Structure formats: structure tokens, C-alpha cells
Amino acid sequence: MTDNNNTSKRPLILVSNDDGITAPGIGFLVQVMKEIGDVIVVAPDSPQSGMGHAITVGNSLRLDKVNIFEGVEAYECSGTPADCIKLAKHYVLKELTPDLVVSGINHGANTSVSVLYSGTMSAAIEAAIEGLPAIGFSLCDYRQDADFSHVLPYVKKIAEEALNSGVPQGVALNVNFPINSNTPIKGVKVCRQANAHWQENFDQRMDPHGRKYFWLVGDFVNKDKGEDTDEWALSQNYASIVPCEFDLTAHHVLSKLNNWNLD
């Protein structure tokens, strides 16, 4: 591992995800990060998509060392992506501080409001809460055999720039890539989060025992016509970067609420 007091050594990079430690996406991410620095992996032992920023408080957590990535120290965790970052920071790494935390590469987009549900981004945001520079990477392709080849040069470039230029304190970068098509990615756009939402429905079904259950379905509705959003960038075959922070305060509403008659 890297001694962070010795600047002559390679940066220490912590890798996690939400699709599980055996997902193809994290394998590609580890591959790229090995070209940049010394890598350690702490990731869920099973898929944790849609877990958001959940943490384990009422159950035990298990952490086991595994031999999955050649030449890389790796651990699988029974908890959520946020749990993985907490365990990595406070137990696995101990006195060491990673120079960068990266999460992904997620199988599926994490644009707009999806950032709130995303385990991929929750790992990155947990790192930001811990004061660590962090990036979440996602590809707009939900298939298990998704093609990541077109995004790997951009993953490397963005990570290197984050290491060289720094990520502001308390910020996690949400990076999304368009699905591989017949035309190369046009470049990278720094964006805002699109004002969009999921129009959800619960499909009522019956199991083999005749018991009723529900399956969440729905459509993504984007009414944001701006050309500075993550959704617009991806629709135009650009990669998008949205800087995110964990402070959810609606600062512009504070003055209005202070005028309420609450006495």
C-alpha cells in the first residue's frame, strides 16, 4: 500500500461499486486504476443496486479477503456500498488515506434523480462525507455483458485529472457515459442534474402459491429542456460530469422559512 507521506510513490486508490465485487464493471475499473496507482478493493459480496445511502445498523457485517483481481488486495463485504467505504476507511486502510475513491463502473445510468437511489453514487458520496475525493462512474447499459471499451480512456483521464487538480472538499463527481454506438463519444460535458423523475407503477402479480406480490415498474420522465444537463449531454453522445454534495439544504428557502410566524 501507499505511504501517503511519500509523494514519490503511486497514489492509493480505493475501488468499490454496487453491482457486486464480481460484476464486469468493477473489473474494468480496477484494470484502469492499476495503470494509475496502487489499488485496494472493498465492494459488496452481492448486488446492491438501488440501495441508496443505506447503512447496516441492526445486523452484523462480514468482511472477507478474496482473490479476484490479479495483484490487487480485495475484500468482499456483506453490507451496502456505504458500509464498504466506512469499513475501508476505518478498518481496512486504518492509518492510510486513499488519494482517490472510485465507484463503478455501474451497469446502468445514474443521472438526474437516480443519484438519490444509486448505490454507486452513495459509495462516492460516503467517501466525500469522509473528506475523500471521490468519483462514481456509470454506463448507460444495463446488460451484464455491457461493452465498456469505449469509456475506459475517459475513466482514466478523469481519474488522473481528479488526482492532479483535486476534487473540492465534500464533493463527489457523478460521471455517466453513453452506451457504445457506431460513433465515438464526442467528449465530456460538465453539467447540472436534469430535473426529471421516475413515473412509477406497481405491477400486481401472483406467485406459484397463489399469493399476491408487486413488481416495481415505470418510465423515466425528463421534462427538462436545458442543454446543460446530464440527460442532454448523454443524448448528444457526450459523457457527463455532475458535481454532487451531501448537503441537501435548500439554501434559497431559508429566508422564506425565517419569515414564517412560528412563535
Residue 106 is assigned to a ligand binding site: yes
Nearest CA-CA partner of 112 in 85, 92, 144, 138: 138
CA dist 188 to 31, 124, 213, 216, 234, Å? 21, 20, 42, 33, 10
In sequence order, what are the residues at sequence separation of 6 or more whose Cβ sits closer than 8 angstroms to the Cβ of residue 7? Answer: none
Report whether 29 contacts 138 (CB < 8 A).
no
Max CA separation in the chain (angstroms): 65
Residue 18 is assigned to a ligand binding site: yes
Nearest CA-CA partner of 192 in 149, 156, 241, 144: 241
Report whether 139 contacts 177 (CB < 8 A).
yes
Distance of CA 32 to the CA centre of its chain: 16
Residue 230 is assigned to a ligand binding site: no
DSSP 3-state of 245: strand
In sequence order, what are the residues at sequence separation of 6 or more whose Cβ sits closer than 8 angstroms to the Cβ of residue 73? Answer: 1, 39, 40, 41, 65
Could you give the angle at the alpha carbon of 222 between the alpha carbons of 218 and 223, nearest 5°?
A: 130
Q: Which residues are annotated as a binding site?
A: 18-19, 49, 106
| Binding-site sequence positions for a divalent metal cation | 18-19, 49, 106
